[in-house]
Homo-oligomer: A and B are copies of this chain.
Amino acid sequence: MAMTGVLRPGHAQIRVLNLEESIKFYRDVMGLIETGRDDQGRVYFKCWDEQDHSSYIIREAPQAGVDFIGFRVLDEATLESLESDLNAYGVETRRLPAGDLLETGERVRFTLPSGHEFELFATKTKVGNGMPLTNPGPWCADAEKGISPIRFDHALLYGPNIADVKKIFVDVLGFFMVERVIAEDNTTEVGIWLSCSHKVHDIAFVEHPEPGKLHHCSFLMESWERVLRGGDIMSMNKVEVDIGPTRHGITRGCTIYAWDPSGNRFETFMGGYHPYPDYECLTWTMDNFGQGLDYPQRKLHESFLTIVS
A interface with B by C-beta (< 8 Å)? 1-5, 7-8, 49, 51, 72, 74, 126, 133-139, 144, 150-151, 197-199, 222-225, 228, 231-232, 234-236, 238, 241, 244-247, 249, 252, 254, 256, 271, 273-274, 276-285, 288, 291-292, 295-299
Complex contacts, A3 vs chain B, CB 8 Å: 1-5, 74
**CA gap between A137 and B245 in the complex, in Å:** 17
The contact sample of 12 A-B pairs, CB cut-off 8 A, is A133-B282, A144-B144, A197-B197, A198-B198, A228-B247, A228-B296, A231-B246, A231-B295, A232-B247, A235-B297, A235-B298, A241-B296
Complex contacts, A297 vs chain B, CB 8 Å: 235, 241
**CA gap between A3 and B225 in the complex, in Å:** 34
Distance from A188 Cβ to chain B, minimum over Cβ atoms (Å): 15
Complex contacts, A231 vs chain B, CB 8 Å: 246-247, 295-296
**CA gap between A199 and B199 in the complex, in Å:** 10
A249 touches B282 (CB 8 A): no
B296 touches A138 (CB 8 A): no
* Known contacts A49-B273, A296-B241: A249-B135 contact under CB 8 Å: yes
* Known contacts A232-B296, A274-B151, A296-B231: A134-B285 contact under CB 8 Å: yes
**CA gap between A86 and B51 in the complex, in Å:** 32
B256 touches A296 (CB 8 A): yes
B298 touches A134 (CB 8 A): no
* Known contacts A198-B197, A241-B296, A291-B235: A280-B133 contact under CB 8 Å: yes
**CA gap between A231 and B138 in the complex, in Å:** 11
* Known contacts A198-B8, A296-B235: A126-B291 contact under CB 8 Å: no
**CA gap between A279 and B52 in the complex, in Å:** 9
**CA gap between A245 and B4 in the complex, in Å:** 39
8 Å CB contact of A278 from B7, B136, B199, B256:
B7
Complex contacts, A254 vs chain B, CB 8 Å: 228
* Known contacts A134-B285, A235-B291, A276-B7: A198-B249 contact under CB 8 Å: no
**CA gap between A280 and B197 in the complex, in Å:** 19
A280 touches B126 (CB 8 A): yes
A134 touches B249 (CB 8 A): no
